[in-house]
Amino acid sequence: MRTDQIREGRLAGERSHDIEHFLASMDADRWIARADLLVDMAHLLGLRRQGIIEDAPACALMAALLDFYDHGLPPEAFSERFEDVHAGKEACLLERLGEEVGGRLHIGRSRNDEVATCIRIRLKEEVLGLIHSLTDLRRTLLDLAAAHRESVMPGFTHLQHAQPTTLAHHLLGYEQSFSRDTARLREAYVRLDVSPLGSAAFASTGYPLDREYTARLLGFSRPAPNSMDAVASRDFVIEVLADAATCMTTVSRLCEDLVLWSTSFFGFVRLDDAYCSSSSIMPQKKNPDVAEIMRAKAGTVAGSLTAAITITKALPMSYNRDLQEVTPHLWHGLEAARQSVPLLSGMIATAVFDTERMAAEAGRGFSTATDLADALVRDYGLPFRTAHRIVGRAVRHGSLDLETLEAAAREAAGISVLDLGLTQEKIETVLDPRHAVATRRIIGGPASETVASQIDVQRETLAGDTAWLEEREMALSRAFETLILEARRFTE
């Protein structure tokens, strides 16, 4: 097998294995090998359409590319003798067809626009895949919320009992966040959906390429408008990684809830055994390992984002080889997110929530004290700060019964709640967690009817996201099918 043909003109001497390994990007390039063949076919069709290459070499090249597409690139294409899969694949073409034919594919093209196009193609697929997983997760959360509108549980601030809520309200909070993650990825997809092909090294080319034609063949909405920006910028990588990191931060928070809730201290949930592991020494243990690994994966994605920003932050225009180091972080970060979101959906769908235990905890820690203060304001005309002080003083004394509240009112405010008309029956009604939840009927609250409305709205949003996703997946699939069909017709 020949050595790297790109070095043969300007450079002399052999590289050591260490240098070859240091410069090679083959591990990351395996992600884009299929996309690279699609780019080759589109470029070749464009060259022939514009009369830049003749039929005979074009047909021979297309036949070889289709063979690679159908049966996979030869292993030699991934040899570290070549800096990247693009050079390795070209070497395979030269070996098979000779330089007279194989050496013509790179007319009007640089590896710079080639790799930038490949990354965008592959990343578009990854973004759609992540959106697909997010829509499944959101559907799971909405279905569970619909089933638990009446499941009262404690809400927490500072990890302390705060106010009663419902499991539905809690789950909808996460669904809202994942809905925004979906929206961010949709917006990123629009900016990602431009084709760098035809930008060449950075200053485009003197060949009369039809960039709109090749963009359409590859499923892009348009060609990138500036050739320098097209090859030198990786802000689209940073944006997608930022969106993935944001999503995984929420995944980690939900996993943290599940880890805590599954402990004997909480006892709110039993995770399916498939998502847990046991101890090598303690036979009684059931550890929420999948949730714990997901928390760690959030750090992996955040690290990939940080690496991408740091690598690109001081690069002068135009292309610099530093960008090669960005790509592995992109795939590593996205792989962590793509693995995690479907597993989270499955873990939640199979979890068993102990709603009786949740209900028993809903009123602990004086969690309905705010409702009692509100009742003193609403029903007896006290200023809220006065009511707040009275109830707080009663909590300090350890009880919210009528006798303690009366003492607290005289001590803290110099008034009598008995004289105001407060009764023990009124106190017990107000302090009931279910009553506290039912009164919170404003938009965004946990009352059953309010939650039902929230679910309806979010299902409509989810339906819109699902329709958008199906449309983009179908458009991309049709573009690639059409490209392959055109390539095969060309060789007939």
Q: What is the pTM of this model?
A: 0.92
Quick one: tokens of 15? 């590289």
CB contact set of 294 (below 8 Å; sequence gap of 6+): 248, 251, 252, 255, 340, 343, 344
Q: Is the pLDDT of residue 403 over 80?
A: yes
CA distances from 185 to 180, 190, 233 (A): 9, 9, 19
Contact between residue 77 and residue 91 where contact means Cβ atoms under 8 Å apart: yes
Q: Which residues pair with 157 in a beta bridge?
A: 160
pLDDT recorded at residue 296: 97
The residue type found at 176 is: Q
Question: pLDDT digits over 232-264, tens only?
Answer: 999 999 999 999 999 999 999 999 999 999 999
- Which entry of 16, 71, 158, 280 is annotated as an active-site residue? 158
Residue 71 a catalytic site member:
no
pLDDT recorded at residue 28: 73
pLDDT recorded at residue 17: 61
- Which entry of 279, 399, 416, 477 is annotated as an active-site residue? 279
Low-confidence winner among 77-86, 213-222, 234-243, 256-265 (lowest mean pLDDT): 77-86
Q: From CA 76, how far away is CA 78, in angstroms rounded?
A: 5
Q: Which residues pair with 269 in a beta bridge?
A: 353
Contact between residue 202 and residue 174 where contact means Cβ atoms under 8 Å apart: no
The CA-based angle 403-409-410, given to 5 degrees, is: 95
Residue 329 a catalytic site member:
no
pLDDT recorded at residue 77: 85
Question: pLDDT digits over 19-76, tens only?
Answer: 665 656 667 788 899 999 999 999 999 999 999 999 999 999 999 999 999 999 998 8
Q: From CA 25, how far away is CA 383, in angstroms rounded?
A: 68
